[in-house]
Chain A
Amino acid sequence: ILNVEQSPQSLHVQEGDSTNFTCSFPSSNFYALHWYRWETAKSPEALFVMTLNGDEKKKGRISATLNTKEGYSYLYIKGSQPEDSATYLCASDKLVFGAGTILRVKS
């Protein structure tokens, strides 16, 4: 198993704060990097599938960047809202998942 690591493990922020977290993955034979959001009592939902080095994708207040040469991706949330509270998962194209970052946004 080629490890996918996420940090931090959990994050507590105030409403309105911007935040970011990291996913590191094996850079050899890279093809794609996935980000998912998993809210409590719901199914995980895809945020982004990223394939190109230097790529940046955006969905509303959430954006992600990708560095395939060094093997990391950042997920950014601008102006966090309580509804952003969820576990954020990343996965390699080998479908190996990281343990996730738990985000809690306090109002």
Chain B
Amino acid sequence: DGGITQSPKYLFRKEGQNVTLSCEQNLNHDAMYWYRQDPGQGLRLIYYSQIVNDFQKGDIAEGYSVSREKKESFPLTVTSAQKNPTAFYLCASSIARKGTGELFFGEGSRLTVL
């Protein structure tokens, strides 16, 4: 079945460590996105990519990095520079350019920094 796969579902990290969250899609979508959710807040955009080898910062990109070497994959690295990394992370993709097509979401990754 077509869809978006995020891994791992749960991740624990010690302070000062980088961690990479995986996002893979087989929907043949050009655009991919990373969102963060904190309790009581809406989804906040971290990074997005509208085409391979290109990506743009979202509203809260500080402390995060991404790559888009393949159409299917958009991994997110949470670096030690991210001051408050404990959160729920959602990856999404869409067929159209940013804002015009519905988003298809993965099931999310919950990161806890110990």
Is chain B a partner of chain A in the same complex?
A: yes
Q: How many Å lie between the Cα of A44 and that of B43 in the bound state?
A: 11
How would residues 73 to 90 of chain B score, 1 for a CB under 8 Å from any chain A CB and 0 otherwise? 000000000000000001
The reply to whether A93 and B99 form a contact with Cβ atoms under 8 Å apart is: yes
What interface size band does chain B fall in?
20 to 34
Task: Give the number of A-B contacts (CB < 8 Å).
Answer: 57
Interface segment, A58-66, A73-81, A94-102? A94-102
**Chain A contacts of B107 at CB under 8 A?**
42-43
**Chain A contacts of B100 at CB under 8 A?**
31-32, 49, 93
**Chain B contacts of A4 at CB under 8 A?**
42
Q: Which of A30-45 contact B (CB under 8 A)?
A: 31-32, 34, 36, 42-45
A34 touching B102 in the complex, CB below 8 Å, given contacts A43-B107, A43-B108:
yes
Residue A46 is within 8 A (CB to CB) of chain B in the complex: yes
The reply to whether A92 and B103 form a contact with Cβ atoms under 8 Å apart is: no
Q: Which of B59-104 contact A (CB under 8 A)?
A: 59, 90, 98-104
Task: State which of A32, A44, A91 has its C-beta within 8 Å of the C-beta of B90.
Answer: A44
Q: How many Å lie between the Cα of A93 and that of B33 in the bound state?
A: 14
**Chain B contacts of A34 at CB under 8 A?**
102-103
Task: State which of B4, B59, B103 has its C-beta within 8 Å of the C-beta of A46.
Answer: B103
**Chain A contacts of B101 at CB under 8 A?**
49
The reply to whether B42 and A99 form a contact with Cβ atoms under 8 Å apart is: yes
The reply to whether A44 and B42 form a contact with Cβ atoms under 8 Å apart is: no
Smallest Cβ distance from B78 to chain A, in angstroms?
20
Tell me the A residues contacting B by CB distance below 8 Å.
1, 4, 6, 31-32, 34, 36, 42-46, 49, 89, 91-100
Tell me the B residues contacting A by CB distance below 8 Å.
4, 33, 35, 40-45, 48, 58-59, 90, 98-108
